[in-house]
Amino acid sequence: MTKSRRWTPAWALALGLWGCASGSGGLARDPKLISSLEVEAAEVRTAYELVERLRPLWLRSHGDRSIHLTTEIVVYQDNVMLGDIETLRSVPIDLVESVRSLDSSEAGRLAGLGSRHVERVIMIITKPNKPGIKEP
């Protein structure tokens, strides 16, 4: 009985340390979202730098799906289309509340895409009471 009492705290400590090491603070990170906490901690200047640092795969296109079909990655801000990936470079980080990646099936519901074959949409959600980037 004495041995089991000594092992119980040791096992509890080992399990606790394993739990802390197995993730980012025990919280699962959403691969399709850059949260407001991540935005604040990133220490970057633009939305492009934010995505490049935290979710670089969002910036990579899988390329053409066939000879006749070219896909693209499109940037939206608060449900308004801004342009291609390079548009992220003109969005100052102090405007950004969060950023979400939408795959092609989710992007199909957005207005303004027309006949474009969109691989992904990078959706910028701006902070309340902050004016956004205006369309050119």
Q: Which sequence spans correspond to the domains of the chain?
A: 30-126
Q: Pick 30-126's CATH classification: 3.40.50.300, 2.60.120.620, 2.170.130.10, 3.40.50.1000.
A: 2.170.130.10
Residue 82 near residue 125 (C-beta atoms within 8 A): no
Q: How far is CA 1 from CA 4, 10, 121, in A?
A: 5, 15, 61
Tens of pLDDT, residue by residue over 34-81, are 999 999 999 999 999 999 999 999 998 876 555 666 778 999 999 899
Q: How far is CA 136 from CA 6, 33, 39, 61, 62, in A?
A: 69, 27, 25, 24, 28
Q: How confident is the model at residue 95 (pLDDT cuts 50, 70, 90)?
A: very high
CA neighbor of 121 nearest in space, from 85, 92, 95: 85
Helices H, strands E: what count in the chain? 4, 5
